[in-house]
Structure 1
């Protein structure tokens, strides 16, 4: 399957359909920015449920060893260190391992963690490969004699990736993640098989404010009935619009998934 622009729709096409459904063509109840934000949220939710878009981005390693994840990123798959640029990674690269409970401070020079290899807890001291250094960092030696200064690890909190001090040896960090890697706009980035699910998601959200504004008027029951109909269509098991969107993506074979990723990666965001 070769994905082309005809295989996708723009946010404006989704918006045109939604505004008619909710009776807000003149944008009296919600702003255009609100609707576009809801479209973005719908795609992020679908991406979370299906992992449909795998992306990678490279960042300069900053002095505080912190990297803010791109908007819409939610599932880090790999983290790599390298020297050079995106066209030439250089001859040396290094995988970075996830360390739970690791948080560095704003300077990047210090950190807290449940296990820093120099704890006085008897449990940690019982490890026969755990020794103390007289230097700034404690070391955990393996059979090759490598210590903590030669380990590369990261932690993550509230969308920020925090790197260990040893990562300063490299210039760049590459993060591989799932999620929508860019804000939507006029470019066609919404797959056709997501179209109905996104429309229903946005319509239901928009009707919340419209229903609130119609309390005590004859339109209240009308809009509530419309929202109920949309909710059933969106959430119905197996053949609801959301379930269909998930299923249609999940049954794509590897070749079609790669074609989809290639198209999305080629967009000039």
Structure 2
């Protein structure tokens, strides 16, 4: 059987992804094993639509290759947007059209690729786009993208672990409540006791990147039968960001990403700091369909 591009390009990440829920908050790794009853639960990968799912009967979490590649594309896109927007702001530009800059155009092409994979898990990877590099040096540009990707994956996986820890069942009549509870469990787990403000900022940024990816899934699938809309879920996650400073890197990264992804037409508001920018972008996203 021929491998899809999604499988081919993500296989090298599998071992790192299986470790990711323990590495996003390493100070709590032993606690996480205890929550699992003393042994780690399997995390498997398969073909299919971009998704992660907790299987209560087998205590297994299953992700798809399409989920991994589309989430990597979002992480790469968000990092390119952030880098471009920050350089423009430091140069004194108040407005930025990403499509006028090569890095900005690449960021939007990566977003487009993520959407295509969400629509069709067997969609080919555009040869004009960079391939993921699982072995990239952590300090390189590709390595920084991988760090953000793996941290975002860790939130998604911890969300599924939360379902299992709380005994949630599939096809429940309270599915929206279960999704919110799993979000709260994963966010609180990640942000409870980071060793520094820098760690807290990075972890919060990764959570926001995961919700940007979920927002793309909402765009494609539209159905909100089983899950609340991503904009509502991100708004509720904001309640856990009270310890982030007004100039938090997480707010800066996320405000640029939300604006570029979900409100690209309107002018950039004259926000005083990254927190104000995040709130403005989140409010615009919440008003969007």
What TM-score, normalized to structure 2?
0.29
Higher share in helix: 2
Q: Could you say which structure has the greater relative contact order, defined with CA pairs below 8 angstroms and 6 or more residues apart?
A: 1
Higher share in strand: 1
What TM-score, normalized to structure 1?
0.30
Q: Which has the larger radius of gyration?
A: 1
